[in-house]
Amino acid sequence: MIQEHFIRNILTVIKADDTITGLTVGGSWLTNEMDEYSDLDLILVTKEKVSDNREMMFSYARSFGKFLSGFTGEHVGEPRLLICLYDDPLLHVDIKFLTLTEFYSRVEDPAILHDTDGQLEKILSETAARYQLPDYQWMEDRFWIWIHYATLKIGRGEWMEALDFFAFIRMTILGPLLQIKNGQLPRGVRKVETGLVKPDLEKLILTIPVYERAAIITALKNSIILYDELSKQLFGEDIKRQTETATKAIEYLRTVEEKK
């Protein structure tokens, strides 16, 4: 596997660098699901903080292989992440730069590839990973307003923007809820093709329209149906349902549909 080849090379480099405390790998490496299309999710633990120095992050990354290009992960809320593309072999590699103190806070327990003095192993044995679950109230407070917004786009004939909405709502709400229902971590629509039971995947597919008004409206209705089903299954009594907003949004969708 090209990922294993890259790991062997990077270990040769970091074992000779006394500024590095350790290296771990997560993602599909942990679940033995890695294939030729998989990227690498690495955590590089350094003695001194590196993530506040962009040039130093790039310097480390360039030393690990034939570095083509990279950028930091502010777009996913993680400036400590460097998203890289390497060549020979061509491989996508995400490198998160942490100190030992920062390593305590994590969403999964990665596999340790290098641990200079056993400190990473000690942290993993003494603390627990914690994945932040979605805030159901946050979802309920936004979903129906977003439905109304998408309806406005349909009514105005801005179908391309409406199509973008469906990807957003699947990534933000429908995908995570379906993954929770299926006992998975709520990671957008990541691996829904294999992580969801077939009936659930088929319902999600019904929220993917073609570039045509009637199809977009149907997909929006299917999104509403799926959200209503999932919210009834997953939300507790503590969630304040936006019933009036939902009713008005659905009524407005009917109005726009009838205008044709």
Confidence class of residue 1 from pLDDT cuts 50, 70 and 90? confident
Q: Could you give phi then psi for residue 206, rounded to 5 degrees?
A: -70, -10
Q: What pLDDT does residue 169 have?
A: 97
Mean pLDDT of the chain: 95
Q: What is the pTM of this model?
A: 0.84
Q: What percent of the chain has pLDDT over 70?
A: 100
Instruction: Reply yes or no on whether the pLDDT at 168 is more than 80.
Output: yes
CA pseudo-torsion sign 72, 76, 79, 80: negative
pLDDT, one tens digit per residue, over 190-221 is: 999 999 999 999 999 999 999 999 999 999 99
Provide the pLDDT confidence category of residue 62 given band limits of 50, 70 and 90.
very high
Residue 245 makes CB contacts below 8 A (sequence gap 6+) with 144, 145
Rounded-to-integer distance, Cα 105 and Cα 101, Å? 8
pLDDT above 80 (res 260)? no
Of 177, 179, 154, 176, nearest to 165 (Cα)? Answer: 154
Residue 92 pLDDT level (bands cut at 50, 70, 90)? very high
